[in-house]
């Protein structure tokens, strides 16, 4: 019985603070009072206050700065997208009214691995270009793309022109390759996947991965990708019919 009362108390505190955020009493950037002050105000233990703060942090509503305090932040809204439509990460983020950006980018050449060779229909160990990027929405990492393309198709395009924004647009403008479709496999990656850890800006953040083979206007496979998306930010829908 005492345990149920404790849970209800931290929920009440969490909802009370959440309500102050929504009403504007607590604004983005405001620092919350110390745990001991909140415990005295709500007449509960510091442990109960800490549980309420943890819930708000997991919902993206608090920015916890070690040794400094807890600050109100604006959580990213969820981004709905239909899997039926081939849409770039950039367009998905911008369609939600958020500012798309890029945290880091790596471009390298490697021998083609077996899985890539099977999907791209190219010889094993033939050279491929790998483009790897962490994408942001309102400066917060929300997606990570690993793109693999045959070197023979891309040649020196990345050296001539830096890639920013949509890869699909880059391929069409710089290489004359127009992506017209993709076969997609949805995967829930293991939490130990290093890319998942890269995107786990909040505790218990879940990640969805799309393994995709993209086709050009001649229906030839030209791009194989691993696309990771934070599931607390992106919502993907499939239209199923009977």
CATH number at residue 104: 3.40.1410.10
* Residues 92 and 14 placed together within one structural domain of the fold: no
Longest dimension (CA), the chain: 69
The CA-based angle 174-180-88, given to 5 degrees, is 70
**Residue that terminates a domain, selected from 55, 72, 89:** 72
Q: How far is CA 101 from CA 127, 128, 134, 219, in A?
A: 29, 25, 9, 30
Tell whether 107 is covered by a domain. yes
* Residues 57 and 136 placed together within one structural domain of the fold: no
Dist. CA 159–CA 149, nearest whole Å: 15
Enter the pTM of the model. 0.68
HSE (CB half, 13 Å, CA atoms) of 154? 26
- In total, how many domains does the chain have? 2
Angle of helix 35-42 relative to helix 46-58, nearest 10 degrees? 110
* Tokens encoding 146: 């690993």
Torsion, CA 105, CA 109, CA 110, CA 112, rounded to 10: 100
Give the domain CATH number at 37.
Answer: 1.10.10.10
* Residues 60 and 169 placed together within one structural domain of the fold: no
* Residues 166 and 233 placed together within one structural domain of the fold: yes
Using one digit for the tens of pLDDT, what is the confidence trace for 185-240? 999 998 889 998 888 777 777 899 999 999 998 889 999 999 999 888 887 777 67
Least confident of 21-35, 110-124, 164-178, 197-211: 197-211
Tell me which DSSP letter residue 99 carries: P
| Span 102-116, average pLDDT | 92
Dist. CA 183–CA 212, nearest whole Å: 6
* Residues 104 and 143 placed together within one structural domain of the fold: yes
**Residue that terminates a domain, selected from 72, 88, 123:** 72
Which of 74, 48, 49 has its CA nearest to residue 63? 74
| Span 76-104, average pLDDT | 74
Of the pLDDT bands very low, low, confident and very high (cuts 50, 70, 90), residue 70 is very high
Which of 227, 233, 231, 199 has its CA nearest to residue 103? 199
* Residues 38 and 109 placed together within one structural domain of the fold: no
Tell whether 12 is covered by a domain. yes
Of the pLDDT bands very low, low, confident and very high (cuts 50, 70, 90), residue 124 is very high
* Residues 67 and 89 placed together within one structural domain of the fold: no
* Residues 100 and 186 placed together within one structural domain of the fold: yes
Dist. CA 87–CA 228, nearest whole Å: 14
Is residue 78 predicted with pLDDT exceeding 60?
Answer: no
Our measurement of the distance from residue 1's CA atom to the centroid of its chain's CA atoms, rounded to an integer in Å, reads: 40
* Residues 126 and 232 placed together within one structural domain of the fold: yes
* Residues 83 and 64 placed together within one structural domain of the fold: no
Beta-ladder partners of 221: 215
Dist. CA 233–CA 91, nearest whole Å: 14
**Residue that terminates a domain, selected from 72, 96, 113:** 72
Is residue 1 predicted with pLDDT exceeding 70?
Answer: no
Tell whether 242 is covered by a domain. no
The dihedrals phi and psi of 181, each to the nearest 5 degrees, come to: -175, 170
Tell whether 94 is covered by a domain. yes
* Residues 60 and 98 placed together within one structural domain of the fold: no
Dist. CA 199–CA 94, nearest whole Å: 19
Residue-range definition of the domain harbouring residue 23: 2-72
With tokens 């924004």, the residue in question is 165
Tell whether 121 is covered by a domain. yes
Tell whether 99 is covered by a domain. yes
């Amino acid at each position: 019985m005492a345990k149920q009362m404790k849970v209800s108390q931290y929920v009440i505190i969490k909802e009370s603070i959440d309500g102050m955020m929504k009403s504007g009493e607590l604004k983005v950037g405001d620092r919350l009072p110390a745990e001991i002050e909140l415990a005295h105000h709500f007449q509960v233990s510091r442990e109960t206050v800490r549980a309420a703060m943890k819930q708000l942090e997991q919902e993206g509503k608090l920015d916890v700065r070690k040794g400094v305090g807890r600050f109100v932040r604006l959580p990213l809204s969820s981004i709905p997208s239909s899997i039926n439509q081939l849409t770039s990460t950039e367009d998905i983020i911008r369609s939600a009214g958020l500012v798309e950006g890029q945290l880091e980018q790596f471009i390298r050449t490697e021998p083609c691995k077996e899985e890539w060779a099977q999907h791209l229909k190219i010889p094993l160990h033939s050279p491929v270009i790998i483009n790897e990027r962490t994408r942001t929405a309102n400066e917060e990492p929300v997606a990570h793309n690993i793109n693999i393309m045959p070197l023979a198709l891309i040649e020196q395009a990345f050296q001539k022109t830096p890639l920013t924004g949509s890869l699909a647009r880059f391929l069409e403008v710089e290489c004359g390759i127009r992506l017209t479709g993709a076969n997609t496999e949805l995967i829930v990656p293991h939490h130990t996947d290093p890319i998942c850890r890269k995107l786990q800006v909040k505790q218990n953040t879940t990640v969805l991965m799309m393994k995709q083979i993209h086709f050009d206007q001649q229906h030839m496979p030209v791009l194989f990708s691993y696309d990771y998306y934070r599931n607390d930010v992106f919502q993907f829908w499939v239209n199923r019919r009977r």
